[in-house]
Structure 1
Amino acid sequence: MQKDQSFTRRRLLLSGAAALGAAGTAGAVLAVGGEETAGTAAAPAGGPQARQALRPSAFRLQPLTGYGPPPAAPRRLKVRTEPILHVSGRGRNMVLTFDDGPHPEYTPHILDTLAKYDVRAMFFVCGECVVENRELLARMAEEGHVVGNHTWTHPLLTTLSRGAVRSEMESTSDAIEDAYGRPPEWFRAPYGAWNRAAFQLGAEMGMEPMGWTVDTTDWEEPGTSTIVDRVESGAAPGVVVLSHDAGGDRSQTVRAIREWLPHLIDSGYHLTVPRRRL
């Protein structure tokens, strides 16, 4: 938690420094008679100089703080009948995915390892976790990771009404957009249990369905060495690896990725995130 608070303070300091730098270069901007005039305003007699709101800077976290153009409505996508299981493209590309988070204890360690090796991953998050850990989604945005929708409470969608499925998905997309800076473009059904409503509603919300091809089964807590073996033995071009950063004790997952990630890189694999059109 101390690390997360330190990270949040660092983001605020960077945002403030960027805004002050932009203001120092351009000068204060004042509204005079309905027009904007560059320069410095004269201080009222006997009083301090008037302070003006700073213009938004060009700092890249701008969208996360409410600036920038309004988000465009998601475009309707083709309704698929099965999730995407394989990443296309040339070379030894693989995709790493993490479900059920973010978690304040385990997710930061996973992000630290990914950052150490300059690797991007996909995080399929649950809305109820997002609202408690907004700063982690901001970090994911800063570091180039993709955030996908994994519903609000992680229910078995095949047991819900269409309206309930929509509520789970829509509320999570709203929470992601608020914390991450833009709406998700990917969706994964909890437990991999897909139904027609999930495919149709996901397409209406502008999200592609993502499955997996290698399951680490880390949710069973089989041991760090077993998780490492499953990833390394399952590695192949186009593979999508499933791991978890929440939903239980994920300390084995944290330790395992520190072992198998450098091994995959040394073996010539490129760990990447997919483009939406596959």
Structure 2
Amino acid sequence: MARHSGGRGWYGKVIGAAVGVTMLATGASVWTAQAGDADDASPEATAPAAPGGAAKPVSATIAHSSEAGKRGINITIDDGPDPKWTSQVLDLLREYDVKATFCMVGTQAQAHPDMVKKVVAAGHRLCDHTVSHNTGMDKDSQAYQSQQILDAERMITKASGGVRPMYYRAPGGAFTPYSRKLAASRGMRPLGWNVDTKDFERPGTDAIVATVERELSNGPTLLFHDAGGDRTQTVEALRRLLPRLKEQGHTFGFPVR
């Protein structure tokens, strides 16, 4: 598995150097726990419940299938919302009649509630991507993990007008058994990915498209970004990929909960 790299806490107060992280096994479509991951204490024993009560608990295993079936693809968009780039992504998704899952950073959702509401109004799903996008949070305490997940859930739910996130994606894939169980207890299925498009690194539109075409056999969930810098290449790659994938007989759906 290859975790994508991003800044440690680059949306929040924790600022540091970008770190490499590990997420997806080459050719594999199922998340496997990293060496050293232990079955931590039950999250219910240590984590406070968010206001409004918990949603129905879901599985704590990483979602890796598509409700759209064998030819299904899950488009996932991370790190927003961003007024400029999220709007452009939404326009493309509407043009090609594609639904996606938006993994939102809590501080971004809080800053741009209008964009969160537009995502929901267009029929897309929400995903909790923590408060500050700390890609090293798997090394932090359970109390810190709880704060990052639960506060982001509250921020996103408030920004959306009451629509709760259905998934939880750890920044950079920094899941722990504890964080997965905590998210699941709140009704948020842990969400990994099968194809890291590397769009975060801005390798060029051609490279992003080529990565998707080369690695799509790994599994249905594709990782893109709509914030964290200039996302022109992401938008252009989606403009090429969405119609092309449809022509190839793929359908688009949501990760199976």
Q: Is the TM value for this pair above 0.5?
A: yes
Residues 82-123 of structure 1: per-residue CA shift (max 9 Å, x gap) = x22333663411100011111111111011000001110001
Instruction: Return the alpha-carbon distance in structure 2 between the equivalents of residues 79 and 263 of structure 1.
Output: 33
1:251 pairs, out of 228, 232, 247, with 232
Instruction: Return the alpha-carbon distance in structure 2 between the equivalents of residues 96 and 89 of structure 1.
Output: 12
Structure 2 partner of 1:73: 54
How many residue pairs get aligned? The number is: 205
Give yes or no for contact 2:102–2:127 (8 Å, CA) kept in 1: yes
SS of residue paired to 1:124: strand
Residues 134 and 269 (structure 1 numbering): CA distance in 2 closer, same or farther, change over 3 Å? same
Amino acid at match of 2:245: L
Instruction: Return the alpha-carbon distance in structure 2 between the equivalents of residues 77 and 268 of structure 1.
Output: 31
Instruction: Return the alpha-carbon distance in structure 2 between the equivalents of residues 144 and 99 of structure 1.
Output: 17
* 1:91-240 paired onto structure 2 within 5 Å: 91-155=70-134, 156-180=136-160, 181-236=162-217, 238-240=219-221
SS of residue paired to 1:230: helix
Give yes or no for contact 2:145–2:179 (8 Å, CA) kept in 1: yes
Amino acid at match of 2:195: V
Instruction: Return the alpha-carbon distance in structure 1 between the equivalents of residues 198 and 71 of structure 2.
Output: 23
Greater RCO between the two (CA within 8 Å, min separation 6)?
2
Amino acid at match of 1:170: L
* 1:54-73 paired onto structure 2 within 5 Å: 73=54
The unaligned stretches of length 5 or more in structure 2 are: 1-51
Structure 1 partner of 2:8: none
Amino acid at match of 1:110: V
SS of residue paired to 2:83: coil
Q: CA deviation at 1:72?
A: 6.4
Q: CA deviation at 1:78?
A: 3.7
Give yes or no for contact 2:60–2:190 (8 Å, CA) kept in 1: no
C-alpha root-mean-square deviation of aligned residues, in Å?
Answer: 1.9
Q: CA deviation at 1:176?
A: 1.5
Give yes or no for contact 2:74–2:255 (8 Å, CA) kept in 1: yes
Give yes or no for contact 2:128–2:152 (8 Å, CA) kept in 1: yes
Taking only the aligned residue pairs, the percentage that are identical comes to 35
Give yes or no for contact 1:87–1:238 (8 Å, CA) kept in 2: no
Give yes or no for contact 1:152–1:172 (8 Å, CA) kept in 2: yes
Residues 160-200 of structure 1: per-residue CA shift (max 9 Å, x gap) = 21111111111111111112232112000000111122112
Residues 217 and 95 (structure 1 numbering): CA distance in 2 closer, same or farther, change over 3 Å? same
Residues 198 and 239 (structure 1 numbering): CA distance in 2 closer, same or farther, change over 3 Å? same
Amino acid at match of 1:253: T
Residues 202-239 of structure 1: per-residue CA shift (max 9 Å, x gap) = 12211110101011001111001100111123334951
Structure 2 partner of 1:25: none
SS of residue paired to 2:75: strand
Give yes or no for contact 1:93–1:237 (8 Å, CA) kept in 2: no
The unaligned stretches of length 5 or more in structure 1 are: 1-70
Normalising by structure 1, we get a TM-score of 0.69
Normalising by structure 2, we get a TM-score of 0.75
Give yes or no for contact 2:102–2:125 (8 Å, CA) kept in 1: yes
Give yes or no for contact 1:95–1:238 (8 Å, CA) kept in 2: no
Instruction: Return the alpha-carbon distance in structure 1 between the equivalents of residues 218 and 208 of structure 2.
Output: 19
